[in-house]
Every structure is written in C-alpha cells, then in structure tokens.
Structure 1
Amino acid sequence: MHNDERASSPWRVRDFRTLFTATTLSQLGTNVGYVAVPLVAVAALDASPGQVGALAALSTLAFLLIGLPAGAWVDRMRHRRVLIGADLARAALNASVPIAWWLDALTLGHLCTVVLLTGCATVFFDVGSQSTLPQLVGREALVGANAAVVSLQAVSNIAGRGAGGGLVQFLTAPVAVLFTAVAHLASALRLTAVGTRHQPPAQPRETRLRTQIAEGLRHVLGNAELRALALTAALTNLGVQIVNTMLPLLFVRELGLSASALGLFWAVGGLGVLLGARCARPLAARLGHGRTQVVTGLLLAPAALLVPLIGRGPGLWLAGAGWVLSMARIGTANVLGVSLRQRMTPDALLGRMNATFRFMLTGALAVGAALSGLLGELVGVSATLWVGAAVLAVSVLPLLLSPVRSRRELPQRQPEGSAVTEAART
C-alpha cells in the first residue's frame, strides 16, 4: 500500500474499527430478523399476502413518520448515545417476540407493533451511523470507509440471511428472532468503546425544528446531483421491496421450498452486493465516479427481469443469476453514491441530509411493501414480481438524465454553511 493510500485508509482510526465491529453484530442480527420475522407471520400466524405486505410496510413506515425530524434531532445529539440507545431498543423489542410465543400469547398485532417500533429505532441508528462516519475517518477516507461498510452489509446479507433460513428451519422462526435480539445487545455493548471526542458540530438550540428540516430538504432537493441520487435510490428500493415482500409466499407456499432455500436466495443477493462494493473503487478510478454509477445501472439493472422467471429447477438458477447481477449494481451505487452525497454536505447538515435520503429511500420501501401486498391480493404473486423487476430495470434513469453522469471526481470538502447557497445555485 502506498503512503498516500495508507494515510487515507479508514482502518487507521481505532473508533472506525470499533464502529465496524459493532455494525457487524448489528447487521448480522438485522439480516437474521429479515428472514425470521416474515416467516413468523407466515408459518406461526398464518398471515395472508396482504398481511405480509402490511408487516413489511410497517418495518419502514417509521422513516416516513419521524425520518425528517430525526435528522435534525441527530444533528443536536451525541451520535454514540443515539447508536447505543437504538440498539438497546431493538434488542428489547425483538426479545419480546419469542417470549410471547413461548407464553402462547403472540399475535399479529404484537408482531406489527414490534416491527413498527424497531423501525423507529432503526431510523436513529441509520441516520446516526452515516452522520458520524465522516467525523470518524475524515472526508478523504470516505470512499474506503463506505466500501468497507457496504461490503460488511453484503457479507452480513450472505451470512445473516443464510443463517436465518437455517435457524428458522431447525429452531423455528421465533427462536431465530431471539438471535436478532442478542446481536443488537452485543452491538450496543461494543459501541460503548467508541470515543466521545467525535461530536456533531454545535447547532443553535434556538433554531426551530421546522427550519432545520427545511434546510436539509433544500440541500438535497435543490441540488441536481443529490436529487438524482435520491430518486434513483428510491426507485431501486421500491423495486427491491416489491420483489422481496412476495418471496416468502412464493418460496414457502407456491413453490413448496424450505426456509433455507429462501435464506440462500437472499444470501446470494448479498454476494452480488459484495461484488459490486469491491469493484466500486477501481471502476470509479477508470470510468469516473458518476459514469460508473450510470454504466453499471444500464448494464446490470435490467438483469432483475430474470427474477420473475423463478421456479423449481433451472428457473431458480436463472432467477438467482439475475438477482446477483442486479444486486451487484446496488453495491457499486451504495459505495459511490453515499460517498458523493457525504462529500457534498457540510458537517452541520450531515444528519439532515442523511435523514432526507433515508426518508425518501425507506419511504420507498414502505410504499413498495404496501403496493406489493395489494398487488399480491389483486393480481397474484407472479405478476407482482414482474412489476418490481420492471421498476428495478428503469431505476437508473434519474442518474442518466442528471449531471452525475459526467462527474469524474468527488467534490472537494464543502465549507461549513455553504449547503443552502450551493443548493440554490444548482
């Protein structure tokens, strides 16, 4: 490794390494729960397609309800406390599911409440994590740090969802949810080792919350590049969620496959994300940061149209290949897109910028889950998969029509207080 590469490596920062290991634990738990929770509804509570869709929508509804004010709150709070509190809340909520099941008191209403409140905790964890990263590693190390985090998420998809399918099959879905609770608790304990010197910039307490939220919205929606990144990511999430919401019903009920097969299919998607994340930096060095996102979107996003061909035998392999390719594009976009938006945002606006993105992106997940459940009831599981795949195939269009397509390098660090002026100028 050259001296300049070593100097810009996020791994030189002890607090980043601590955050990374805590995030590893949290991601493993989250991905086990991703498989286990809907299967609790399907297998233990005999939920219908509409109820499964509603459950998936509740998991992301919190971003629509509190996503924007959460960004302003995070900008006023110590990030370490936000992350620890969010993990402790998720641990307690998930632990209530197996406890209620063992007491023969688990209901769909209980499960929906747990999912909604867990989503609220995840709002603060996600916004706080993405906001503290630039302060931990510095702006020059952001691409490397984001590549590491996205790679971690991909590996967690592979290991967590694969393990989740196995845990459900051999220990039942409620017991698998207990693993999720333990993982979040371990993450919270690990986060206590993060130093307190990395604090968010001071925010004027007299500023009204509504004014601060509006500043974040103007920064994102008033900038052509940030707006295109948000729209493309929202369309991607919409398509992914429409597909994912129907997969438990397709695998378990229509195809008669095991929970392990479903976990393996989702894990294969994680392999695609990992591949895309690892290729992001070399591709950006050769093609440019913006062009890489557009080219990979045009080449790989249409592979999602193979997913609705899923079935037993060759159809399952073909759908898996399409899922890997479409997820590889998402891995590349996550590394480069998140790095670009962090570099275009001054520290004082990081929480609100991230909250605005999470509001749009996770709001798209909520809409996608609800729409998937509705379409599943009206036109069936297979037709719903085609709708989700079509949305994924065209999701790159906002980037293609924006200035991002010609950007070669990440911008220099934004001076504090310049965000609103820059957004208005674009």
Structure 2
Amino acid sequence: MGRSVWRQPGFALLWAGEGTSQLGAQLAGLAMPIVAVTMLQATDAEMGYLNAAQTAAFLVVGLPAGAWLDRMRKRHVMIAADLVRALAVAVVPLLAVLGRLELWHLVVVGAIVGVATVFFDVGYQSFVPVLVADEHVGDANGVLEATAQTMRLGGPALAGVLLSFLAAPLVLLANVAGFLVSVVALSGIRDGEVVRPRSERRHLLVEIGEGLRFVAANDLLRRIVATVALSNLGSTIVFTLLPIAILRILGIDPAVYGIILSIGAVGGLAGSMLAMRIARWIGEGPAIVWSTVVFVLAGVLLPLAVLVPDAAVVLLIVGEAIFGFTVLVFNIVQVTARQRLCPKPLLGRMNASIRTVVWGVMPIGALAAGGLGTAIGTVPAMWVGVAIGALAIPPFLLSPLRTMRSLPTRPRGAEEMVAEV
C-alpha cells in the first residue's frame, strides 16, 4: 500500500496555504455582496455586472492561461496570482476608509481578482498530480476539498461575527491575509517540477488546440463540460440574485445570512469527506450521475424560501446543505477522473479548456440574472435559473456512466506520446 497522502512531500504546505486562502475567500464572498447591496444600494443589474466581472476572466483568458501554465512552473504562477489578488482586494477597504468607494471599484477589483484566479485555479488543479503520486490524487482532492468546506463552514459565521462590529469592507482584510499566508506556504514547497524546454514548444495556438482536441475527443469529458456548463449557467443566475432576495426581500440580517451559509456548508464538508467512499461504494459513474440529479433538485429550495418567509431560514439551510453535499461529491469524483485520464503534459491545457467553457458561462449567467431580475423580478428570475440548471441532468442520466463503476485512466505511455506530437 502506498504512503499516506500526508506523507507526500509538500502536500501539508499546500493544504495549509489553501486552508487560509479559502478562509479569507469565504469572508470576502460574504462581505463583497453585503458591501454592494447594503452600502452601495446595488440593483439587480448592478449585481449582475459585479458577478460578471468576477467570472469573465475564464471566458477571456482561460484558454491561453492553460497553455502558458504548461510552459511554466505551476507553483510560481500560483504564488504570483495570490500576490495580485491580495493587492487588488486591499484597495476596497482603503477606498472605504477614505470615503471614496463606489460600485465600479468593486467591478474593477472583481475583474482583476478574476484574472488572477484563472491562473491560480488552473495551476492548482494541474499541480496536485505533479505534487502527489497518482494513487493518492483522489485522497488529496478529498482532503483539500474537505478543508475548503471547513472554511466554508466557519468562514461565513466568522464573517457574521466580524460584521457585527466591523464595517463590511474591513472584513476583506482577512481575505488579503489569507492570500499572503498562502504565498508563504506555497513558497516553502519543493516540488521538483521540470518544465518543457523552449525547443520542444510549438506555437501557442497549436498547444491550445491540443488541449481542446483532447477534451472534444473524449466522451466523458464532453459530458462533464455539458453538464457543468448548464448547471453553472443556472446556478449563477440563482446565486447572483440570492443576496438581494435574502438581505432585501426577506430582510434577513447579514450576520444571520452568514450563519445560514455556515450551517449549510456542513453538507459540503460531509460531501468532501465521503465523496471517494461513495464512489467506491456505488461506483464512480453512478456517483457522478446521481449527485448531479440531487444538486439540481436542491436548487429548487432557494427561490422557494423567498415564497415561504416563515420557513425561509430552514429552507435556505437545507437547500445549501444538500446542494453543497452533492456538488462536492460530483466535483471530487469528476476532477479526480479528469486528472487520472489526462497525460500530465496536457493537464494545464485540459483544465483550462474545460474551465473556459464551464466558468465562461458564468458571466453570461450573471448578466442574464441582472437583465431578468430587472425585467421580471428577482424571484421569477431565480426560477428561470433553476429551470436552466435542470437541463444539466440529461447528459449524464442518458449515458453509460450510470453503470460504470470505474472511469477510464490515461493509457500507459501517454506522456511520451504527447511529448512526440
């Protein structure tokens, strides 16, 4: 039996850096919408612009980012991305203290952070198989996602406490601190990654094309892209408008909002811890299929909560918990399958190709949320998002994945074949 994932060199530092970065991100994830809705009186359309700015980078630079990452040491790129994010987020509390903060500042900061996040996230998903032996990749993903969910569990509650005596922009300083701690931790890793020499590189467009063709030629990856893209499009519409529904329509206090998200995150924590066990129990294919069905159905509870104010808090908690549990099961199993399937020289481009599509729909969803919310109202627009998310079910439910206990892995010698292209 192989060594524990905790004994893989550098993994503990990656885990520590990710944990603190995730905690800061959770504080920011609650503070930014509160700043927009309560301090700057953002409309539905303006919330759409803000969310679009935060996610547009995957649509704009996602593909070249993957090709560039396959030419560079991924850890160095992640460190640079953390530094850029820390500097950008620090601008918000500074402008707030000076009394100069406006909504367009949040949009610009969101766009800058979004670009840096493209490079960090593609690098991060491509770095795990570099740092960890193949047999531990699934366990490593589970540990890192469990940590992220722990931060999602405690982060919003901590934000709620901080918001009771600090202005929302100042809570963003914790986000800055998280990015800086991540920089320190990543700087201590000695991964030994060797990048391809310049003599083996081809034109950037050729290398981008290799990643796209790899994804397009694989049935499993095509179905993952279709399902996640439709789910993200629908859920972005719902979650873009959710702060307005909770804070303005229901009138729930920001501190209570944070507690709702923290209690709901228990489901995500459980999903991250049980994902690989569930995959081993019912099979990897069925785990992906049925988690998709359930997280789509759980999304119904979020707009329903606005229609039943007396039960709103309970419905929000249950909806968040079920959604978090099943999304984490889905993500851990399918990301692990992708990492095992793809030759390592193509990891950056494969991940970037997929994320360009599945995250590229998110700014479209955010703008659609703003337009729909303005045209037909916040809650009806959320129901449109739920309906679009339901379209994510057929690509998996009507596929051979329903009976596949083990998903395919990269063929022996795949790295050599890529190197010879």
For structure 1, the residue ranges without an aligned partner over 5 or more in a row are 422-426
Alignment of 1:337 onto 2:307: no
* Residue 9 of structure 1: aligned partner: 4
* Residue 404 of structure 2: aligned partner: 407
Alignment of 1:272 onto 2:261: no
CA contact (8 A) 2:130 2:191 kept: no
* TM-score, normalisation: structure 1: 0.93
- Separation of aligned partners in 2, 1:203 and 1:27: 35
- Separation of aligned partners in 1, 2:134 and 2:166: 45
- Separation of aligned partners in 2, 1:106 and 1:272: 36
How much does 1:327 deviate? Answer: 2.1
Alignment of 1:259 onto 2:258: no
Three-state SS of the structure 2 residue aligned to 1:214 is helix
Match 2:129 to one of 131, 134, 139: 134
How much does 1:100 deviate? Answer: 1.1
User: Is the alpha carbon distance of 1:263 and 1:62 closer, same or farther for their aligned partners in structure 2, counting shifts above 3 Å?
Assistant: same
CA contact (8 A) 1:219 1:420 kept: no
Alignment of 1:416 onto 2:415: yes
User: Is the alpha carbon distance of 1:200 and 1:273 closer, same or farther for their aligned partners in structure 2, counting shifts above 3 Å?
Assistant: farther
For structure 2, the residue ranges without an aligned partner over 5 or more in a row are none
How much does 1:198 deviate? Answer: 2.8
CA contact (8 A) 2:225 2:358 kept: yes
* Residue 227 of structure 2: aligned partner: 232
- Separation of aligned partners in 1, 2:283 and 2:50: 40
Q: 1:366-410 CA distances to partner (integer Å, 9 max, x unpaired)?
A: 222111111111111111221222333442321223343332124
Alignment of 1:165 onto 2:139: no
Three-state SS of the structure 2 residue aligned to 1:416 is helix
CA contact (8 A) 2:85 2:179 kept: yes
* Residue 220 of structure 1: aligned partner: 215
> How high is the sequence identity, in percent, across the aligned residues?
38
- Separation of aligned partners in 2, 1:203 and 1:151: 38
Alignment of 1:380 onto 2:377: yes
Three-state SS of the structure 1 residue aligned to 2:78 is helix
Three-state SS of the structure 1 residue aligned to 2:101 is coil
Match 1:120 to one of 111, 115, 119: 115
What code does the residue aligned with 1:40 have? V
* Residue 350 of structure 1: aligned partner: 347
* Residue 45 of structure 1: aligned partner: 40
CA contact (8 A) 1:234 1:364 kept: yes
- Separation of aligned partners in 2, 1:286 and 1:294: 14
CA contact (8 A) 2:294 2:323 kept: no
- Separation of aligned partners in 2, 1:397 and 1:203: 44
* TM-score, normalisation: structure 2: 0.94
User: Is the alpha carbon distance of 1:301 and 1:109 closer, same or farther for their aligned partners in structure 2, counting shifts above 3 Å?
Assistant: closer
Worse overlay, 367-376 or 202-211: 202-211
* Residue 288 of structure 1: aligned partner: 283
Aligned residues: 416
What code does the residue aligned with 1:329 have? T
* Residue 424 of structure 1: aligned partner: none
User: Is the alpha carbon distance of 1:354 and 1:8 closer, same or farther for their aligned partners in structure 2, counting shifts above 3 Å?
Assistant: farther
* Residue 92 of structure 2: aligned partner: 97
* Residue 323 of structure 1: aligned partner: 320
Match 1:242 to one of 233, 237, 246: 237
User: Is the alpha carbon distance of 1:204 and 1:301 closer, same or farther for their aligned partners in structure 2, counting shifts above 3 Å?
Assistant: farther
Match 1:73 to one of 68, 71, 76: 68
How much does 1:163 deviate? Answer: 2.0
- Separation of aligned partners in 1, 2:101 and 2:314: 36
CA RMSD of aligned residues (A): 2.0
How much does 1:365 deviate? Answer: 2.0
Alignment of 1:397 onto 2:375: no
How much does 1:167 deviate? Answer: 2.5
